[in-house]
Chains A and B, each alone.
Chain A
């Protein structure tokens, strides 16, 4: 069973809409949750992280964590064509130093 699962997409949204990306994880020992954005041919760059249940907002991005249901989501408000990329979800456990990555969701924002 995969540690972290994401819908591979592709997900397409019109410019200005809200993009919703979802991620589920299997290990209840997961402590920290991260969203990375990866443009084609580039390395992942950190968008935001969340540790506690609830919402965390940073500009147009909101991360939502629900530990009871074992999912974490990323909302992108007012989506822009420059948001078109693959979004990777990652989790880190209470014990150990390893990060577990999903395979990513491809997002296209249509002008």
Chain B
């Protein structure tokens, strides 16, 4: 069974804190993605990775960085959290058949 897990379902952080969101998939997928989802704006791609140590910017990479040291793990880092980064963060992965599977999401609140 397909499984994508995210480290936290809910997070509350303060402005300026460094925030780590982790995503793990057990399907040996090459590609992993980080999105944020906001009401009325839909899913917006932050970063994606098509291989270990490889990363590509998505549509809204500003204020974020990523790390992929192992194939199964893709981390999103908010270097200095700001209130406009309050959002639902969704991790996804896909393999050769190009069907994208999502994790449960992390709802982040930055105060």
Contact = CB atoms under 8 A, between A and B. Distances in A.
Interface of A: 31-32, 34, 36, 41-46, 49, 88, 90, 92, 97-99, 101-104
B45 A92 contact: no
A80 to B, nearest CB: 23
Contacts of B31: 97
A97 B107 CA distance: 25
| Most A CB within 10 A of own CB, among B40, B48, B50, B98 | B98
6 contacts: A43-B90, A44-B43, A45-B102, A99-B45, A101-B42, A103-B41
A49 B42 contact: no
A88 to B, nearest CB: 7
Nearest to A48: B99
Contact of A43 (B42, B50, B103): B103
A43 B100 contact: no
Given A34-B100, A44-B102, A97 B50 contact: yes
Contacts of B107: 41
A36 B43 CA distance: 12
A72 B41 CA distance: 21
B100 A102 contact: no
A42 B88 CA distance: 10
A42 B104 contact: yes
B48 A88 contact: no
Interface string B33-72: 1000000111101001010000000100000000000000
